């Protein structure tokens, strides 16, 4: 079981990032905006990772992780009503790894779903136009939500003995929820450029959740059109949990890029 856990943790690295943009077109204050807003952000993270499972340590680069991903899609959707926002951040991926040692062939495939839900509230903002038509200001919001992990791990093996091939397989489901609380701030530098910083912490060892987890995200937002912007930044994600009495710590970091469509 430790070997299966090890393979699972190594492959669970198409991670979630809190990068979705709200619908603050023009960066006016929340009181001046339309009541409703919506945005969709497809994105990708170019991650490297470190994994500690018991006494074993694994270090992998972006190219190592890319070679394990057979298919994947990541997207954020944000709906806003006045100062209240509801966001969904989803990762959908199929990951795989093969190993051959003598007559033994092992194939590991993971069908992964990571769903992050958050309800947040803008407690302060002061976006405004200056005399030179530049936009200045910043906002602060707090949120609470839950992150759901579901992974169906399939392990198939074949053993070649003389002219006979013996094989078998099994599927191991793994899932858990992490309660997450966070804070986010957004600074507008001018009409076209803004930046954001977000921090979420959670897990707290509740039930089957992680002992502790956090997400840190830094994003530069470049407004291309009133309804579209390009996002580029950096993210660091880390969690610590125990499965089958084996303690695992995963640390993921790297640059990210996405495109937001604002309605």
Q: Does residue 81 belong to any structural domain of this protein? A: yes
Whether the model clears a pTM of 0.85, i.e. scores above it, the answer is: no
By the 8 A CB rule, do 21 and 195 touch?
no
How much of the chain is helix, strand and coil, in % rounded to 5?
10, 70, 20
- Count structural domains, the chain: 1
Residue pLDDT tens, the chain, 263 long: 344 344 343 334 333 333 444 434 444 444 455 788 999 999 988 878 788 877 778 787 777 767 666 777 888 999 999 899 999 988 887 777 676 666 777 777 778 788 999 999 999 988 776 655 556 789 999 999 999 988 777 777 777 665 555 556 677 777 889 999 999 999 988 888 899 999 999 999 998 899 999 999 999 999 898 899 999 999 898 889 888 888 888 888 888 899 999 88
Exposed, middle or buried by CB within 10 Å (0-12, 13-18, 19+), for 15?
A: buried
Task: Tell me the residue range of the domain where 161 lies.
Answer: 2-257
**What are the φ/ψ torsions at residue 53 (nearest 5 degrees)?**
-120, 105
Q: Does residue 263 belong to any structural domain of this protein? A: no
The CATH number given to whatever domain includes residue 237 is 2.40.128
Alpha helices in the chain (DSSP H): 2-11, 62-68
Q: Does residue 44 belong to any structural domain of this protein? A: yes
Q: Does residue 262 belong to any structural domain of this protein? A: no
């Amino acid at each position: 079981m430790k070997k299966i856990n090890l393979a699972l943790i190594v492959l669970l690295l198409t991670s979630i990032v809190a990068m979705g943009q709200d619908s603050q077109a023009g960066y006016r204050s929340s009181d001046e905006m339309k009541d409703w807003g919506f945005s969709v952000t497809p994105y990708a993270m170019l991650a490297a990772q470190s994994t500690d499972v018991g006494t074993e340590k694994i270090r992998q680069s972006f190219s190592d992780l890319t070679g394990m991903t057979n298919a994947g899609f990541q997207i954020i959707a944000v709906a806003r009503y006045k100062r209240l926002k509801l966001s969904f951040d989803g990762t959908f991926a199929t990951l795989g790894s093969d190993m051959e040692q003598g007559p033994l062939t092992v194939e590991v495939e993971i069908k992964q779903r990571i769903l992050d839900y958050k309800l947040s509230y803008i407690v302060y903002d002061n976006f405004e136009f200056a005399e030179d038509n530049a936009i200045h200001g910043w906002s602060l919001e707090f949120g609470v939500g839950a992150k759901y992990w579901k992974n169906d791990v399939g392990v198939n093996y074949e053993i070649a003995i003389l002219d006979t091939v013996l094989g078998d397989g099994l599927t191991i489901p793994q899932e858990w929820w992490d309660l997450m609380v966070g804070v986010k701030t957004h600074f507008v530098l001018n009409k076209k450029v803004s930046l954001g910083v977000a921090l979420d912490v959670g897990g707290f060892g509740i039930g089957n959740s992680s002992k502790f987890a956090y997400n840190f995200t830094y994003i530069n937002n470049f407004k291309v059109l009133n309804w579209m912007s390009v996002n580029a930044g950096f993210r660091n994600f880390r969690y610590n949990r125990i499965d089958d009495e084996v303690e695992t710590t995963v640390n993921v970091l790297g640059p990210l890029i996405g495109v937001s469509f604002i309605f």
